Amino acid sequence: MTRHGRPPLSASTLFTSANFTLSLLPIRLAHRIQALRNLPFIVVSNPHISRIYNIYIHSLSTLLPYQERQINTLEDEIQFTEVMADLVQTHAETIPILARGFLECRKYISPADVTKFLDEHLRARVGTRLIAEQHIALHLSSQPHCSGNNQYVQDGSSTSIGVIDTALRPAETVRQCESFVSEICELKYGVRPTVIINGQPNTRLAHVPTHLEYILRELLKNAFRATVESGKEREPIEVTIAASPDPSPSPPAPIQLDPVTAPSQGDAITANAPPGVTIRIRDHGGGISPENLPNIWAYSFTTFGDEELLDLSNGNVDALNAISGANGGSSSLAGLGYGLPLGRAYAEHFGGSIVVQSLWGWGTDVYLKLRGLGKM
């Protein structure tokens, strides 16, 4: 994803990026179609899950004609990128649609099977979307065919390679997510806890900003909600940022991904990735009860009330979009149980992790570990 270099890219390099993207996307889409076909027939017959299935069929049939030839002209590259941008937008709402579909199929599929399917499906979705968005970002920041229009061309001060920020400051992302979650919290509860950032706030690493934003937003929503509902809104939420020391000065060796087996492998950029960053989010919201703690990673587990779930089953799509975090946001601090496991999928995509340590009756510590995406 970073081997093509920093934008603006030459036309030939853009062709290489487009063909690399095209070598991966159809295979990944085919794997998702196969996984949907392996679900029980009555589940796939649900109109919402059937809609997702048809979206994947449409996307695959749209890309296959391009795979039959190499992209080696600017006209083909522009057309391919426009088509891919439309497909990315088409898949933007798949999570809330899937959520509603599985909600309506609770009688016909076990929670364990739902979790197994969604864990694989949404993790694959993260990688597929990332590959597509990377080429789109490289295309927009290069635009060699628009020599007279340089509005998208990056200057030398940019730290981004496509969707990857090579000098991302987690502390700044924490503040952005804090502002967003604080507004939701104040709207719902009338108060907003404060957030203290300590440790090494000036730490930088190479990572995908949108992934980190989603993870931190979900973790802060949980911390804010627990803090306010336990009556501890005066207690600040503590965010500690700690950079790992560099154990080896030698550059890591690149991994060569086989396009055929890539969907089943991690989308690693480098082997022996350099040290990353650990972010600890500590709240004093009373912790997670022992009966709920084993279920926090299950997609079927939610703290949403029965009345809200009934409202969704009766067709309140707006409410579903809100609590499922559609369009990148959420107007509620509770949800359908997708936030935490999907956040872990984002973290683990590049070798990171999320670990939850709860002291029942006191509070919760969440450790988010991120691995940098290679030395740029």
pLDDT at 139 over 50: yes
Q: What's the pLDDT score for residue 9?
A: 85
Q: Which single residue is written with the structure tokens 């991120």?
A: 370
Q: What's the pLDDT score for residue 316?
A: 41
Please give the average per-residue pLDDT across 211-230, as a whole number: 94
CA 375/CA 249 separation, integer angstroms:
10
- Cβ–Cβ under 8 Å, residues 36 and 44: yes
Q: Give the pair of three-digit tokens for residue 217.
A: 């937003």
For residue range 252-291, what is the model confidence (pLDDT) as tens digits? Answer: 444 444 443 333 333 334 334 347 899 999 999 999 999 9
Furthest C-alpha separation in the chain: 63
H/E run at residue 359 = strand 353-359
Task: State the span(s) of the chain assigned CATH 3.30.565.10.
Answer: 163-301+337-370
Write down the CATH number for the domain with range 163-301+337-370. 3.30.565.10
| Least confidently predicted of 35-49, 207-221, 330-344 | 330-344
* Amino acid (1-letter code) at residue 115: T
Please name which of 57, 47, 90, 32 lies closest in space to residue 317, comparing C-alpha atoms. Answer: 47
Per-residue H/E/C for 181-216: HHHHHHHHHCCCCCEEEEECCCCCEEECHHHHHHHH
Q: What's the pLDDT score for residue 279?
A: 96
Q: For residue 262, what is the DSSP state?
A: G
- Cβ–Cβ under 8 Å, residues 329 and 339: no
Please name which of 163, 162, 269 lies closest in space to residue 209, comparing C-alpha atoms. Answer: 163
Instruction: Name the phi and psi angles at 297, rounded to 5.
Output: -100, 5
pLDDT at 153 over 50: no
Mean pLDDT of the chain, nearest integer? 81
Residue 260, Cβ neighbours under 10 Å: how many?
10
Residue 162, Cβ neighbours under 10 Å: how many?
24
Task: State the span(s) of the chain assigned CATH 1.20.140.20.
Answer: 11-160
- Cβ–Cβ under 8 Å, residues 36 and 120: no
- Cβ–Cβ under 8 Å, residues 115 and 300: yes
Q: What's the pLDDT score for residue 144?
A: 55
Answer with the residue of higher pLDDT: 90 or 250.
90
Between strands 353-359 and 237-243, the pairing is unpaired
Q: Give the pair of three-digit tokens for residue 56.
A: 């994947």
Q: How far is CA 4 from CA 7, 11, 30, 138, 307, in A?
A: 8, 11, 26, 9, 51
Q: What's the pLDDT score for residue 264?
A: 35
- CATH architecture, domain 11-160: Up-down Bundle (1.20)
For residue range 123-137, what is the model confidence (pLDDT) as tens digits? Answer: 899 999 999 999 999
The model carries a pTM of 0.79
CA 26/CA 207 separation, integer angstroms:
25
